[in-house]
Structure 1
Amino acid sequence: MSKYIVNRDAQGIVWFTINRPEKWNAIDYDVMNGLLQTITEVEENKDDRIFVLTGAGKKAFCSGGDLSVFQNLQTVEEAYQMLSKMGMILYKLATLSKPTIALLNGLAIGGGCELATACDYRLASRQSRFGFVQGKQGITTGWGGATLLLERVSIDKAFHLLMTGEVISAEEGKELGFIQHVLSGDDVMKDCEEYISKEFLHTPKVVKAYKKVVIRKWLATGLKERMLKEMEDCSALWVTDEHLEAVRKIMRKE
């Protein structure tokens, strides 16, 4: 069974589904590679208009990195290699010249929140919950998520999410400005399609031009360099006793 599924519809929507429900749709190297390949294709394919990210099932959007794989990273260099690989995929996602949507259909924690933050829009089912829980594991956001979050919400709201590590509801996320829309129905993909039909009224060329305005701002303010510095900070924390012990506790529970 494929760890991810890519579907294209007649409206030019590309649906990327992380297909690891038994792992709470955690990200491993295969998912990373598939995501990178698909983002590259969407950028180059003129028929692809919008990119939507979601997770299989109803339990989770994405639970972050797969610790059963990444627990073996024992040095700063090994940690940075993984963090920068995924971090630069998120940078590529954030700077995609076409609209991107994170369709939160369940739990989004840790790196799952970073993945959602890289998207232009975050739509959430009523039962979905999310939280930047990395601090409770003795590390910071490692894929550039804090840098991206500060581009999405005000500093005080970003600090609240990052410093507390609280897991909050979709409605609370909307109040903070992190979630743009809470979906009311049970069919989140259908609701997402309806949102897209109302939100993107202009031609693809006009939409792309507006996205370039944001991308130019990020180029001028060194978004990539700031994200890379964040990954360096996380790499140093990755090998601390606090983080290694937190990972051991999580793996014992599994």
Structure 2
Amino acid sequence: MDKYIIRRNNKGIVWFTINRPEKRNAIDYEVMDGLSETISEVKNNQSDKVFVITGIGEKAFCSGGDLAAFQNLMTKEDAYKMLSKMGEILYSLATLEKPTVALLNGLAIGGGCELATACDYRLAFRESRFGFVQGRLGITTGWGGATLLLERVSTDKALQMLLTGNIYTAVEGKDLGYINHILSKDLPNNECEEYISKQIIHNTKVIEAYKKVVNRKWVATQLKQRMFREIEECSVLWASDEHHQAVSSFMNKNN
């Protein structure tokens, strides 16, 4: 079974669906490569206008990194190689000169929140929940997600989400300014496309020009450098005994 599904429609919307329901749509190296390749394709394909990321089913958008795939990364150097790989992908997603949408069809936790945060818009089922829970494993956001979060919501709201590690509902996420729109579960893809058609009305050239304005701000404020300092700090925590013990306990609990 393919770990991700790519679909294009006649409106120029590209759908990237993580297809790992047995892993709550967790990200492994294959999904990373799929995201990287698809972002590059969307960037270079003039007929692609909007990029939407979601997960298969109604239970999980993305549960973050697949711990089974990454549990053997013991050292700071090993961790940094994986974390920086995904950091590069999220930076390319955040700076893509076409609108990006995360459709939260279910639970988004840990790295799943980082993936959603890299997108321009976050739409969610009313039943969806999300949370930056990395601290429970003795680490911080490892893919640059905290830096990106500070670009999306106010500092106090970002700290609240990061420091508490709380799981929030979609309604609470809208109040925090994190979720842009709440969808019904009946026809979410249609409703998502309707939202896109109302929010993104200009032609592709105009949209790209506006996104370049945003990107220039992020270059000036060293977004990428800030993301990678965050990734460096996480890689140090990743190599700690506390993190390895937390991962071991989690894996034993789920086996």
Q: TM-score, structure 2 length as denominator?
A: 0.99
1:54-203 correspondence to structure 2 within 5 Å: 54-203=54-203
In structure 1, runs of 5+ residues without a counterpart are none
- Is the CA contact (8 Å cut-off) linking 1:185 and 1:191 kept in structure 2? no
Residue 3 (structure 2) pairs with residue 3 (structure 1): yes
Letter in 1 for 2:153: V
Give the Å deviation of 1:151: 0.3
For 2:151 and 2:132, locate their aligned partners in 1 and report how far apart those are by CA, in whole Å.
Answer: 16
For 2:130 and 2:94, locate their aligned partners in 1 and report how far apart those are by CA, in whole Å.
Answer: 19
**Bigger shift: residues 195-204 or 99-108:** 195-204
For 2:250 and 2:176, locate their aligned partners in 1 and report how far apart those are by CA, in whole Å.
Answer: 29
Give the Å deviation of 1:250: 1.1
In structure 2, runs of 5+ residues without a counterpart are none
**Bigger shift: residues 204-213 or 119-128:** 204-213
For 2:195 and 2:100, locate their aligned partners in 1 and report how far apart those are by CA, in whole Å.
Answer: 13
**Bigger shift: residues 139-148 or 187-196:** 187-196
Give the Å deviation of 1:49: 0.1
For 1:8 and 1:64, locate their aligned partners in 2 and report how far apart those are by CA, in whole Å.
Answer: 25
For 2:186 and 2:76, locate their aligned partners in 1 and report how far apart those are by CA, in whole Å.
Answer: 43
Residue equivalent to 1:238: 238
For 1:185 and 1:24, locate their aligned partners in 2 and report how far apart those are by CA, in whole Å.
Answer: 18
For 1:217 and 1:24, locate their aligned partners in 2 and report how far apart those are by CA, in whole Å.
Answer: 35
Letter in 2 for 1:219: V
C-alpha distance after superposition, 1:125-173 (max 9, x if no partner): 0110000000111000000000000000010000000000000100000
C-alpha distance after superposition, 1:149-207 (max 9, x if no partner): 00000100000000000001000000000000011342211110110111111111111
For 2:186 and 2:127, locate their aligned partners in 1 and report how far apart those are by CA, in whole Å.
Answer: 10
**Bigger shift: residues 195-204 or 183-192:** 183-192
Give the Å deviation of 1:226: 0.5
Q: 3-state SS of the aligned residue for 2:178? A: coil
Runs of 4+ in 1 over 3 A off after TM superposition: none
For 1:251 and 1:187, locate their aligned partners in 2 and report how far apart those are by CA, in whole Å.
Answer: 36
Letter in 2 for 1:166: N
Letter in 1 for 2:68: S
- Is the CA contact (8 Å cut-off) linking 1:63 and 1:107 kept in structure 2? yes
Residue equivalent to 1:218: 218
For 2:217 and 2:43, locate their aligned partners in 1 and report how far apart those are by CA, in whole Å.
Answer: 19
For 1:185 and 1:104, locate their aligned partners in 2 and report how far apart those are by CA, in whole Å.
Answer: 11
**Bigger shift: residues 124-133 or 202-211:** 202-211
- Is the CA contact (8 Å cut-off) linking 1:174 and 1:180 kept in structure 2? yes
- Is the CA contact (8 Å cut-off) linking 1:118 and 1:148 kept in structure 2? yes
For 1:211 and 1:198, locate their aligned partners in 2 and report how far apart those are by CA, in whole Å.
Answer: 18
